[in-house]
């Protein structure tokens, strides 16, 4: 039983598990913000321009009520949330690209000083003109 708890302790303290937990918590908090933004700001504005609240649209069939307006609202909310997330991620990626340092790879070829052909950087003889070259390290 002690080995089981040791293994569980190792599992729970791994970095990716902690990252996932933080992501879920932040995602929950972010969901509340986006939901409030959509419900309290966007939907009333849509109601202002559309002249109606989609949540109140219903169809009744012999005692059964289909609240299709709530479905329309859910689809609109999804599209708005997806668009807001797209804008946030796009902004983060753009900012991240500006801060990334360009990593230059070491060159693997050089130019032959005699025939100007491209040759391997460590070549001691040009394969094109057969001139002897000083090897570069």
Give the model confidence (pLDDT) of 23-42 as tens digits: 898 888 888 887 788 778 87
Helices (H) and strands (E) in the chain, counts: 4, 4
Tell me how far apart the terminal alpha carbons of the chain are, to the nearest angstrom: 58
- Whether the CB-CB separation of 35 and 42 falls below 8 Å is answered with no
Burial 48-86 (b: 16+ CB within 10 A, else e): eeeeeebeeeeeeeeeeeeeebeeebeeebeebbeebee
- For residues 109 and 17, the model is more confident at 109
Q: Residue range 37-53: average pLDDT?
A: 74
């Amino acid at each position: 039983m002690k080995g089981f708890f040791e293994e569980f302790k190792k599992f729970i303290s791994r970095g990716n598990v902690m990252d996932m937990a933080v992501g879920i918590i932040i995602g929950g908090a972010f969901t509340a913000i986006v939901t409030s933004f959509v419900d309290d700001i966007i939907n009333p504005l849509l109601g202002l321009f559309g002249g109606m609240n989609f949540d109140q649209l219903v169809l009744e069939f012999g005692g059964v009520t289909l609240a299709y307006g709530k479905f329309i609202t859910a689809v609109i909310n999804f599209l708005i949330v997806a668009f807001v997330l797209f804008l946030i991620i796009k902004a983060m990626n753009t900012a991240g690209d500006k801060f990334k340092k360009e990593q230059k790879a070491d060159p693997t070829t050089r130019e032959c000083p005699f025939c100007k052909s491209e040759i391997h950087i460590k070549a001691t003889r040009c394969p094109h003109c057969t001139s002897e070259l000083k090897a570069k390290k």
